[in-house]
């Protein structure tokens, strides 16, 4: 008797998980698109300085974070660090 109820809830939870994964994936893509130009500009500018790599990353992070806040973009720190690493890799591959 309870198997049908259990199956129903398992299917509902599976659907909800798939839906949430799609929503989070899409929102992450939107945030990446909104911040990529700012991040690339910051990384490119800082690559030409005499700062250490750690200082460059910290400064790029702060510039991107400040921009995100000013534009009302809620980006997690881990996503900003990912964007910075993607920009650094892109610059290295372009050389």
Tell me how far apart the 2 most distant CA atoms of the chain are, in Å.
71
What's the pLDDT score for residue 13? 74
Is the confidence at residue 95, as pLDDT, over 90? no
Q: What is the pLDDT of residues 5-48, one digit of tens each?
A: 667 667 767 776 776 676 566 677 888 888 999 999 999 999 99
User: Of 29, 46, 47, whose CA–CA distance to 83 is shortest?
Assistant: 29
DSSP 1-41: -HHHHHHHHHHHHHHHHHHHHHHHHHHHHHHHHHHHHHHHH
Q: Is the pTM of this model over 0.85?
A: no
What's the pLDDT score for residue 11? 75
Q: What is the pLDDT of residues 41-91, one digit of tens each?
A: 999 999 999 999 999 999 999 999 999 999 999 989 999 999 999 999 988
């Amino acid at each position: 008797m309870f198997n049908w109820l259990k199956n129903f809830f398992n299917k509902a939870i599976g659907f909800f998980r798939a839906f949430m994964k799609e929503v989070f994936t899409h929102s992450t893509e939107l945030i990446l698109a909104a911040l990529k130009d700012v991040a690339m500009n910051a990384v490119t500018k800082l690559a030409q300085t005499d700062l250490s790599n750690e200082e460059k990353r910290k400064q790029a992070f702060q510039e991107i974070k400040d921009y995100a806040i000013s534009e009302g973009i809620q980006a997690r720190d881990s996503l900003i660090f990912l964007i910075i690493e993607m920009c650094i890799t892109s610059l290295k591959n372009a050389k």
